[in-house]
Amino acid sequence: MTTAVHPKNYDIADIGLAERGRFRMQWAAKEMPVLDLLEDRYRRERPFEGIRMAAAMHVTSETANLMRILIAGGAEIALCASNPLSTQDDIAAALVSHYEMPVFAIKGESTTQYNQHINHVLDTEPHLTMDDGMDLVAMLHTQRNSLLDGIIGGTEETTTGVIRLRAMAAQGRLAFPVIAVNDAMTKHFFDNRYGTGQSTLDGIIRATNVLMAGKTFVVGGYGWCSKGIAMRAKGMGSHVIVTEVDPLRALEAVMDGFQVMPMAEAAKVGQIFCSATGDINVIDRRHIEDMRDGAILANSGHFDVEINLRALEDMTTKITRVRDFLDEYTLADGRRIYVAGEGRLVNLAAAEGHPSAVMDMSFANQALAAEYLLKHSEEMTGNVYDMPESLDRQIAALKLKAMGVEIDTLTEEQEAYLNEWTLGTAE
């Protein structure tokens, strides 16, 4: 196997943080038993021997544990960030120092540097891609398409990436198969809902330290992520208002006990706003115009487009950083609006991202999807594929086992009954 990139080829903030990163990685690993089970098998079977992988992921302690098991399976991986603000610099240092990984990620990097880092990762001439939001795959198809021939397939971690990939496949532009890890049930049921729910509240609290109890908290959207945010804000005593564009999800929010109204109405009464829709300008100029003095705005969707920051800047006479990850925008009329984490996903910008217990399942999906691609790529084309259901169930069973939770199995009688159509109302 040839090493396309020398291990010392990296760009991180401070290699001196490696020891701290290693401890945090080990702490996260304690809640990632499914990855440990996979690692045991990977050490024996080495399914990724000779395979180069290009990963654009949030550089967190959980991602580092995914990298650890893939390396144990023989993979050579280069890693960059999937968001300029989500890198944990100590983790980047630990991966370089203890795993000799080429890592190109610095918290707070500029957009230019972010794109350069994706390019460095692509310089390794990968066989597999692992993306979170599709920036790496987009660059591969636009600026680096000479590398496309060498690609076997890819995996995609998040809803926004899957939406972009499907749009690309529909235009016949996707050159290799990609597995939508996000759409696995063991991913979005847990990661998007419980992970985003807890870590988004954590991010808002770390950025502001405001009391959640008694606040009017407006949640943009009622998809998997927003449901988690609404549930946790309610649990902390906030009065939660949900905004939606999909009647089914709006109805679900109503039945779950939330007040539902258009953003134009919610804007007038909300004190804290957080959207997680994957959509643009969910909080727009016309909403900001009606907001109360002191309103706090945050986003937990993938890109920093959900709050119209350009319009907010336009309306602003002065911007002051009042705390780490909290900017005060003073408007011409004197009102002050606060933006957490520069409008980027607040759970990663201002906190540490999802707890490792949920990433255990998301990343087991990533590893199994990568393995699946290596075994089945010849039957696959330039399209977006679901995770095979059998793998999803396997991950759920492993997680339950690791948690010490047992469940029933169907008896033969029940199995036969559930496969029979002649048995209806008994005489």
Ligand X SMILES: NC(=O)c1ccc[n+]([C@@H]2O[C@H](COP(=O)([O-])OP(=O)(O)OC[C@H]3O[C@@H](n4cnc5c(N)ncnc54)[C@H](O)[C@@H]3O)[C@@H](O)[C@H]2O)c1
Binding site for ligand X (CB under 6 A): 158-160, 188, 192, 196, 220-226, 243-246, 249, 276-279, 282, 300-302, 345, 347
**Of 97 and 198, which has the nearer Cβ to ligand X?**
198
Contacts of 114 (CB under 8 A, 6+ apart): 80, 81, 84
**Of 124 and 299, which has the nearer Cβ to ligand X?**
299
Instruction: Output the smallest distance, CB 365 to ligand X, in A.
Output: 13
Instruction: Output the smallest distance, CB 128 to ligand X, in A.
Output: 21
Measured from the Cβ of residue 91, the count of other Cβ atoms closer than 10 Å reads: 31
Helices then strands, each counted (H, E), the chain = 18, 16
Instruction: Output the smallest distance, CB 118 to ligand X, in A.
Output: 18
**Of 72 and 348, which has the nearer Cβ to ligand X?**
348
**Of 281 and 377, which has the nearer Cβ to ligand X?**
281
**Of 126 and 220, which has the nearer Cβ to ligand X?**
220
Instruction: Output the smallest distance, CB 221 to ligand X, in A.
Output: 3
Identify the helix (H) or strand (E) that includes residue 67.
helix 61-72
Are 238 and 208 within 8 A, CB to CB? no
Strands 259-260 and 239-243, bridge-based pairing: parallel
Measured from the Cβ of residue 419, the count of other Cβ atoms closer than 10 Å reads: 7
Instruction: Output the smallest distance, CB 176 to ligand X, in A.
Output: 21
User: Mapping DSSP to helix (H, G, I), strand (E, B) and coil, where does residue 299 land?
Assistant: strand
**Of 241 and 395, which has the nearer Cβ to ligand X?**
241
Instruction: Output the smallest distance, CB 32 to ligand X, in A.
Output: 17
User: Mapping DSSP to helix (H, G, I), strand (E, B) and coil, where does residue 18 land?
Assistant: helix
Backbone angles phi, psi at 411, to 5 degrees: -75, 165
The DSSP secondary-structure symbol of 177 reads: -
Nearest CA to 86 out of 107, 117, 115 is that of 107
**Of 87 and 97, which has the nearer Cβ to ligand X?**
87
Instruction: Output the smallest distance, CB 81 to ligand X, in A.
Output: 13
**Of 54 and 345, which has the nearer Cβ to ligand X?**
345
Instruction: Output the smallest distance, CB 309 to ligand X, in A.
Output: 16
Instruction: Output the smallest distance, CB 427 to ligand X, in A.
Output: 46
- Across 81-152, where does the E strand assignment appear? 103-105, 128-131
**Of 97 and 160, which has the nearer Cβ to ligand X?**
160
Which string of b and e fits 142-174 if b means at least 16 CB within 10 Å? Answer: eeeeebeeebbbbbbbbbbbbbbbbebbeeeeb
- Across 74-192, where does the E strand assignment appear? 76-80, 103-105, 128-131, 153-156, 178-180
Nearest CA to 72 out of 105, 115, 29, 110 is that of 29
User: Mapping DSSP to helix (H, G, I), strand (E, B) and coil, where does residue 382 land?
Assistant: coil
**Of 51 and 229, which has the nearer Cβ to ligand X?**
229
CA-CA-CA-CA dihedral for 209, 232, 346, 181, to nearest 10 = 160
Instruction: Output the smallest distance, CB 303 to ligand X, in A.
Output: 7
Q: Which residue is nearest to ligand X (CB)?
A: 223
